[in-house]
């Protein structure tokens, strides 16, 4: 595919579907919020990494190791440019957003959260942005949602107080697709001296992200939702925060000098990257970023917004279908069919060659707030188009026929 001309074509004409070899003809893959399919450019980069250029990094003095180290660190620079980081040293490679949040909770949290301090979350957070703070012993307060299922920033402004040392929020909800006004959230957090962590898993695949403009303090995301490989993710933090944070895992590469009496540690980001890294995962992430930026994040956002709008408009005509989230949700449509468990919806859709997610989506507190045990969720990627919407709607009609 010629990336240079892709954005001149119809956004809903499946311009990019042929780049994804794991999507067969006639299969509607609508589970990108869980994990995105991989374009051939990423698969090829991973194959080359293992089959042609593989070596360890930061350790070998031989030429291939040196070359792989250069490629590895070039990927760090690529990530920094992708999210607007001030320097590549602010980029820490982790296994995913979950590990990134745990790193902040166990390092920054244990060093900075004292008795009486509190953490502010929201009702719609993924378990990965709840449980790590509980494990760190934090006292948690919860921001409610607005009537259209957004984080209620007016309520947040009324709730926040100096005891809140950290605010941790989803940039885009993995269930509702609601987009946070992150800059306003940062202003509210900083008004009492709190830090702001943003979970960007659902944001980076579908909209431009600039951490400097957002004015957050920590940002995490996973590579596999960004059309990259599993097992690799990113923690970005302001340089001065990383410099003050203690290591959270010990091992090779994160040290300065080790004796049995005392160990001193490397500066960031190496301090937080103990052990042999996921070298080829980092290379694959680089290729994934190149891929989405060649298409253009703004074009992807426009494409997915059109798919969401058409899907919601169509589903809203069904009296037996309940929609969740705002009308302008980002790439995600959650719904329930009256009288049918979402797992049954998912099973019948699968028989119609439509893949969706059904369940609590690792957001059980949100399900309780919505008054349901689970929802069905269709989520879009660059490879989706109108035929996928038609397949989804046809599958839901079949669900209604089966269950009367």
Query: Catalytic one among 362, 367, 369, 372?
Result: 362
- Among candidate residues 48, 21, 84, the one with its CA nearest the CA of residue 227: 21
User: 142: part of which helix (H) or strand (E)?
Assistant: strand 139-143
- Residue 166: partners with Cβ closer than 8 Å, 6 or more residues away: 108, 109, 112, 113, 119, 120, 138, 194, 195, 196, 197
Residue pair 80/90 in contact by the 8 Å Cβ criterion: yes
- Among candidate residues 122, 175, 171, 172, the one with its CA nearest the CA of residue 146: 122
At residue 332, what are phi and psi to the nearest 5 degrees? -135, 135
- Among candidate residues 38, 96, 89, 90, the one with its CA nearest the CA of residue 287: 38
Paired residues of 236 in beta bridges: 91, 219
Output the six-digit token pair for 122: 């929201």
Residue pair 211/182 in contact by the 8 Å Cβ criterion: no
- CA–CA distance, 88 with 98 (Å, rounded to integer): 21
DSSP state of 75: H
Q: Is 362 a catalytic residue?
A: yes
Residue pair 357/34 in contact by the 8 Å Cβ criterion: yes
At residue 156, what are phi and psi to the nearest 5 degrees? -60, -45
Q: Which residues are marked as active site?
A: 362
């Amino acid at each position: 595919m010629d990336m240079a001309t892709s954005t001149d074509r119809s956004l809903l004409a499946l311009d990019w579907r042929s780049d994804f070899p794991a999507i067969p003809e006639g299969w509607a893959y609508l589970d990108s919020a869980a994990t995105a399919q991989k374009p051939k450019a990423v698969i090829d980069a991973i194959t080359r990494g293992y089959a042609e250029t593989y070596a360890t990094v930061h350790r070998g003095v031989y030429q291939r190791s040196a070359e792989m180290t250069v490629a590895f660190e070039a990927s760090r620079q690529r990530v920094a440019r992708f999210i607007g980081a001030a320097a590549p040293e602010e980029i820490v490679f982790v296994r995913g957003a979950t590990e990134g949040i745990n790193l902040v909770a166990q390092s920054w949290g244990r060093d900075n959260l004292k008795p009486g301090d509190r953490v502010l979350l929201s009702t719609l957070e993924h378990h990965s942005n709840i449980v790590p703070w509980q494990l760190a012993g934090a006292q948690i307060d919860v921001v409610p949602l607005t009537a259209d299922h957004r984080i209620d920033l007016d309520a947040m402004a009324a709730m926040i107080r100096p005891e809140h040392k950290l605010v941790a929020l989803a940039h885009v909800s993995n269930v509702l697709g609601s987009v946070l006004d992150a800059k306003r959230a940062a202003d509210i957090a900083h008004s009492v001296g709190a830090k702001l962590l943003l979970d960007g898993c659902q944001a980076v695949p579908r909209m431009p992200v600039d951490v400097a403009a957002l004015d957050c303090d920590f940002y995490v995301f996973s590579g596999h939702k960004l059309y990259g490989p599993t097992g690799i993710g990113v923690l970005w933090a302001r340089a001065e925060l990383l410099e003050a944070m203690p290591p959270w895992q010990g091992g090779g590469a994160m040290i300065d000098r080790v004796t049995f009496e005392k160990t001193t540690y490397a500066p960031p980001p190496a301090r937080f990257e103990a052990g042999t890294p996921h070298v080829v995962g980092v290379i694959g992430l680089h290729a994934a970023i190149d891929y989405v930026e060649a298409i253009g994040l703004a074009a992807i956002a426009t494409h997915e917004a059109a798919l969401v709008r058409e899907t919601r408009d169509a589903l809203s005509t069904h009296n037996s279908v309940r929609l969740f989230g705002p009308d302008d949700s980002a790439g995600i449509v959650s719904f329930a069919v009256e009288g049918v468990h979402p797992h049954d919806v998912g099973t019948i859709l699968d028989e119609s060659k439509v893949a969706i997610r059904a369940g609590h989506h690792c957001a059980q507190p949100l399900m309780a707030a919505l008054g349901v045990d689970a929802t069905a969720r269709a989520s879009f990627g660059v490879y989706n188009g109108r035929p996928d919407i038609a397949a989804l709607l046809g599958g839901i009609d079949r669900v209604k026929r089966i269950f009367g």
